[in-house]
Structures are given as C-alpha cells and as structure tokens.
A and B are shown apart, each in its own frame.
Chain A
Amino acid sequence: MRLPCPHCGVRDRREFTYQGAALARPDSPDWGEAWDDYLHNRDNPAGETRDLWYHDPCGTWLVVTRDTVSHAVHGAAPAAEGGA
C-alpha cells in the first residue's frame, strides 16, 4: 500500500503511522457519552473509510480516504485543511 502525501507525493506505507478513524472531537470538555463514543466506539466500515495517518518524514497529519476491503487508496489531504 502506498499513500499520497500532498507535500511529498506517493510514498511507501512504511513512512506513515496509522492514527485511527478520522472523527470530530466533541465540543464539550466534560466526560460523557460523546467522549466515550469518540474514544472507543467505531463505525468500523467494511468499505470506504476516512482515517488519520501521520507522515513521519514531513510531519503532516493526513486524512486518507481508502477502502478497507480492497486496500485501494482514493485520496489524502492535510487534516489541518479538513482532510480528503
């Protein structure tokens, strides 16, 4: 599997660290259902998914859109810009 870093081009999977599903952080600072959901529960889709990857050499957090069944990668964009 190779992932497209917007800054560095298509790079080997070994340059990236998987950081889990790309989810919106709850607004409230207080512990509750929203935080439990954010930290633990997952849609865990068999098919298209959006997840966070860290590109170790350039330090960019990416949101990658890919398929969990075929391992096809559809795109990647910096998480700071809202992701792919």
Chain B
Amino acid sequence: MAYSGWRIIREALTGNTGWAPVWRDPDPKPAYDIVIIGGGGHGLATAYYLAREHGLTNVAVLEKGYLGGGNVGRNTTIVRANYFLPGNSEFYSHSLKLWEGLERELNYNVMHSQRGLINLFHSDGQRDAFVRRGNAMINQGDDAILLDREGVRRHLPYLAFDNARFPIHGGLYHPRGGTARHDAVAWGYARAADRRGVDLVQNCEVTGIDVEGGRVTGVQTTRGAIRAKKVAIVAAGRSSQVAAMAGLRLPVESHVLQAFVTEGLKPVIDHVVSFGMGHFYISQSDKGGLVFGGDLDFYASYAARGNLPMVEHVMEAAMTLMPAIGKAKVLRSWGGIMDMTPDGSPIIDKTGIEGLYLDCGWCYGGFKAVPASGFALAHLVAQDRPHESAAAFRLDRFRTGRGLMDEEGTGAQHNLH
C-alpha cells in the first residue's frame, strides 16, 4: 500500500475502513543469515539498509517488546548536525542528509521539520567556542550562521535577554536542524524493511547468544532458538545485558535522562532552542505541546523515570530562559535509558567474536543518528568493514586512548557526560 494525499482523502470519505496493518507479524524462522537484536529505530534502520543497500533480506529483527517501544519513543525528537569533532562531524552530517530524503524514500511521513536550531551563548568565551563550532560545521559542508543579540531577538523575541546571570549575547543558528515525529521514524523503517522481506519479530526476547569456537552461531530466545550467521546487538540502554550473554563487558553505563511536555498550546516556539548554561532545550510539537528536557540525573538507572531534583532544575532553567513558560502546565514527564560511554560518543564496531557486531553508546544523541547508524551498521555487517562515515566509532578507543571523541572536553571518563 502506497501512501498519498489522494488515498487519505478517499479513506476520509469512506470512514477510514480501508487501512490494513502495514507490516506482517511473523513467527521466527529457525535460521537467518542475520539477526538484529533490538527493534528500535537503530535496529529497524539497520534492517532496512541491509535490504536496500546490500540486498540482504534473510534478516530478522528480534524485539522483546513492541517495535519502537524503547528510546525511539522516549526522546525529544531533535535532528541536527552541529557536532564539532572529526568522527562525529561527518557521521551526523551524513545522518542529516539521510533524514532529508527519508520521507520520499520510505513513502512515509516522518514529519521531518527543518525549523532551525539555535544554540544560545551568554559570554565572549562561549561566543568564541560557537564561532569555532560553526566553522567546523561549515567545513563539514553543513550550515551555521552566527547571530548577534538582535539576530536572536528577531527569531526568538520571547526569551529573557537581560537575565542577570545569563544575558543572551547571541546564538549559533543551524537552519537545517529541527525535529521529526519520533514514532513515525521507527514505523517508517519497519514498514519499509518488512516490504523488502525482513521478518520483524515482536515479543521475542533474546535470552542467550550462542558462540562456538569464537564465532557466533545464533541466539536463544523466548520463542525458541534461532540460528544466525551474523548477529548485531542494537539494544541501547540494555546493551550491557545483551552483550554479557556473549561474555562481553562494555564501556557503557546506563543513565536516566528526563524529558517533559506541556499541554497543547497555539504555535509559540517555531525553532529548537538550546540553552546550554541551563542544560535545557525546547521545541514545540506539531500537536502544540512544548517538549523540553535537561541533563542526566547522573546516576546509573534503568527505571525509565527520574527524580525530582532534576525536574526542579529543568523547570528553573525554563523559567530563567523564557518566563512566559510559567503559564503552561506540564502534562507528562518520562525518562529514557541512555547507554552512556566514557567519552560521550557512540560505538559501531565488530566485537572480539566473529560475526557479532555492536551498535551502542548513543548517550543522549541516538534519535538524530537513527538513519546513519542503521546505514553504517548495515555496511559493517554486510561487508565486514566499517563505513567511512562511522569508522571512528571504535570499541577499542578507550583501551588504546586513540580516537577518543569527547565533544564536551571534560575527559573520557564515566559520569562526566
């Protein structure tokens, strides 16, 4: 079934009775060429690119719950390519380019909205840092515009420019940055992968990874054993548990990151605004809710919910930046389980076990990475060598100290990112 405006009109006039499920719900087969553990954004994108780029369709995605029920449904939907360090820079640049063609490619409305992202600065030193970042972005081929105070005011007149502690001096404007509809990305990739023959197996929890003679041979699941020539672990916050089934201990600690949404309001914020000094960022969903979040709670957690001190901190930051937000009522809050690495950058690599691949460590940047992560992991699994856009995401960089990507410059150590 192809989606079109015409189809929507026809369905609207006939009571929306013509829609059918858009992917199959198959039982797992006894064997596949490739098994992907994890049916989130990254896993589904990997399956899609394995089929499209490499013609590999004897593939299963195993999901312990339902498709897209993890972090791809628990984020703040921001899509951007404003990274600074080599390694990250080309990867996120590639990802944004994939985002820009995604809806046409998938024939699925992921509501990708390039409404522009503005990172605010409040001091001369911060301005210098953003000039440098902007130059790095431009050198990468992406877009960055330095705004002075009046430039920011033209875009965001509702901010508190004269705050005593953090007066707004300007901002770095990334016009191609924006948001996308989080669930739709997972659904779009799921539908496209299914149509190319990939089995998406839900309610199928992996309970063991079979390794014989240093080579992966399959997985044990709650729906029986499945043989596989290659297995990819794409389990985000649960990566440590899945990797432990193969005897691996990862440089990952799982933390909670909270986010919030207000009741639906009329259009008020038409950008993504990032207030780094308060670890606060905000945008408005197409439904009208103000979606915002802050920093980690900063302790290891799988609770998928946070504690009140960070709630208070985020609300304080919101009031500092835009006092008008005090009129809005918070509707919901939630937490995602972030797979944090010591340097705050991800891992897409082989493991010491032949045929076992790893895609994890997305920290709090996983959503925007979905297309490029799937693209790069598919390349790695299919060709057994990294794609050039993700060659820096090595598992051994912590042991060797070579190629660490610490965007914040705080040190490659747990609990600093």
Contact = CB atoms under 8 A, between A and B. Distances in A.
Interface stretch (A12-20, A55-63, A74-82): A12-20
Contacts of A43: 240, 244, 249
A69 B298 contact: no
A80 to B, nearest CB: 21
Most chain B beta carbons < 10 A, residue from A13, A40, A68, A71: A40
Contacts of A42: 240, 249-253, 414
A10 interface: no
Interface residues of A, number: 25
A46 interface: yes
A14 B298 CA distance: 11
Nearest to B300: A68
Interface string B291-321: 0000000111111000101000000000000
Contact of A68 (B303, B342, B399): B303
B238 interface: yes
Interface residues of B, number: 24
Contacts of B251: 40-42
A41 B35 CA distance: 25
Interface string B244-274: 1000011111100000000000000000000
A24 to B, nearest CB: 15
A36 B298 CA distance: 22
B413 interface: yes
A42 B307 CA distance: 23
B398 A20 contact: no
Given A18-B298, A21-B300, A36-B399, A41 B307 contact: no
B300 A51 contact: yes
Interface in A5-30: 12-14, 18-21
B372 to A, nearest CB: 24
A13 B307 CA distance: 9
A40 B251 CA distance: 5
Interface string A32-49: 010011011111111001
A20 B413 CA distance: 10
Given A13-B307, A69-B303, A18 B252 contact: no
Interface in B371-417: 398-399, 413-415
Nearest to A64: B299
B4 interface: no
Contacts of B244: 43
Given A33-B399, A37-B249, A39-B398, 17 more contacts: A12-B309, A13-B309, A20-B300, A21-B414, A36-B398, A41-B249, A41-B250, A41-B251, A42-B250, A43-B244, A44-B252, A44-B253, A44-B300, A46-B241, A46-B254, A69-B303, A70-B303
